Amino acid sequence: MPNQVFLGPTDFTLSKQSVADVCPSNIALIKYWGKYAGQIPANPSISYTLSNCHTKTEINFDPAASFAVKVNLDGREEVKFGEKIEKYFRSIEVYLPWILQGAYEINTVNTFPHSSGIASSASGFGAIAKCLMQLDASFNGLADEEFIRKKASFLARIGSGSACRSLYEGLVVWGETTEVEGSSDLFAVQYPTEQVHDIFRDFNDWVLLIHEGQKAVSSTVGHGLMDSNPYAKRRFLEARENFVPLKKILKEGDLTEFIRLVEHEALTLHAMMMMSTPAFILMQSGTLEVINKIWQFRKETGLPLFFTLDAGANVHLLFPENENSNAIKDFIETELKPFAQNGGIVKDRMVF
Ligand code: PMV
């Protein structure tokens, strides 16, 4: 049953168009892992939208040609990617009724290494959805900026769940929870910035690239394995419950509890992978060594360096930007960077 609010008008005038847009990636603090039909998340999630890691996409649309999708990534045609986007366009026709009436050339570049494990699907689908909404607005005269952004988030979600969070800045929530007003399973909303303590509003995320290359198990497969995971029900409940302390933590600036909660979420995500049948492990030995080093550093110095993990081996090193951050940065450069394959590290910083 399509969502009525986002159904597209069937009276539109097509024209040859070129549009371009940019969308950042994001890193979840409370993780989304497990979903229901129609890309509905099994639990609410919250993420930081990154600043430097983003995707730039240009779409050239030609209504005189028949439906076809060609995708170039960094100037090189990616046939598999093209097929994926073609399938995606077919899946959203009810929301953009003009979408199958022309040919697309999509040129896309990421500002971060494609193989880095930074969620390129989040920024990628976010950028495509933004471009599509530009086309939509030009074809049917839509001018409501807030609705355009909300619908872009809705459309991005259909491509890749976590992508819907990339449409907003700062801290962003996807999935209905009584703890966040206006939250929805269908699109993301910005977490109210006035309820976020200053300490969380200038934060570093340095991504240590432990392993570059394809993941052994895709997130699509990983989400699917939650359907038969005996711990899934408890996990979904816990993620939901975690919003209660998180709200208080964010308001009061309780960094110690923030660290506890965020690391617990990361380890729970990977524990779910290990408890799946078949089991899989995306962490590598370097991931574990870095985690132990972080814990040891924190114990010895009391400085707030901590981590989160995505569905991969890389470690997101999180720490607030303040008078202590130089000591943390020095430690990362000398003690943690050697664990990165090819010394790879992507430095991002969220300020809002
Ligand atoms: O959006 P997907 O289907 O690629 O899933 C992403 C899941 C995690 O990145 C592991 C967690 C999250 O909430 O972003």
d(CA 80, CA 69): 11
Residues of the chain with pLDDT > 90: what percent?
89
For residue 158, the CA-to-ligand 1 centroid distance in Å is: 13
CB 277 within 8 A of CB 225: yes
Residue 115 has a pLDDT of: 60
Burial class (CB in 10 A: 0-12, 13-18, 19+), 54: buried
CB 153 within 8 A of CB 2: no
Mean pLDDT over each residue of the chain, to the nearest integer? 95
For residue 163, the CA-to-ligand 1 centroid distance in Å is: 8
Q: Beta-strand (E) ranges in the chain?
A: 17-30, 35-36, 40-41, 45-62, 68-73, 76-77, 103-110, 171-174, 188-190, 202-208, 306-309, 315-320, 345-351
Residue 120 has a pLDDT of: 78
Looking at ligand 1, which residue's alpha carbon is closest to its atom 6?
A: 162
d(CA 150, CA 329): 37
Express each pLDDT in 184-213 by its tens digit. 999 999 999 999 999 999 999 999 999 877
Its sign, for the CA torsion 197, 199, 201, 204, is negative
Q: Indicate if ligand 1 lies below 6 Å from the C-beta of 35.
A: no
Ligand 1, atom nearest to 160 Cα = 1
Residue with tokens 């198990």: 217
Residue 211 has a pLDDT of: 87
Q: How confident is the model at residue 116 (pLDDT cuts 50, 70, 90)?
A: low
Residue 114 has a pLDDT of: 66
Q: Indicate if ligand 1 lies below 6 Å from the C-beta of 110.
A: no
Once rounded to an integer, what is the mean pLDDT over residues 121-146? 95
pTM: 0.96
Nearest to 33 by CA among 337, 268, 211, 348: 268
Residue 152 has a pLDDT of: 98
Express each pLDDT in 25-73 by its tens digit. 999 999 999 999 999 999 999 999 999 999 999 999 999 999 999 999 9
1 pLDDT more than 70: no
- Poorest-pLDDT segment among 209-213, 306-310, 344-348: 209-213
d(CA 226, CA 40): 14
Q: Indicate if ligand 1 lies below 6 Å from the C-beta of 162.
A: yes
Q: Indicate if ligand 1 lies below 6 Å from the C-beta of 31.
A: yes
Express each pLDDT in 89-100 by its tens digit. 999 999 999 999
Residue among 25, 27, 31, 283 to mutate when testing ligand 1 (max atoms within 8 A of CB):
31
Q: Indicate if ligand 1 lies below 6 Å from the C-beta of 160.
A: yes
Residue 117 has a pLDDT of: 63
Express each pLDDT in 221-253 by its tens digit. 999 999 999 999 999 999 999 999 999 999 999
Residue 250 has a pLDDT of: 98
Q: Which domains does the chain have, with CATH numbers?
A: 3-194 (3.30.230.10), 202-351 (3.30.70.890)
d(CA 314, CA 283): 8
Q: For the chain, first and last CA: distance in Å? A: 37
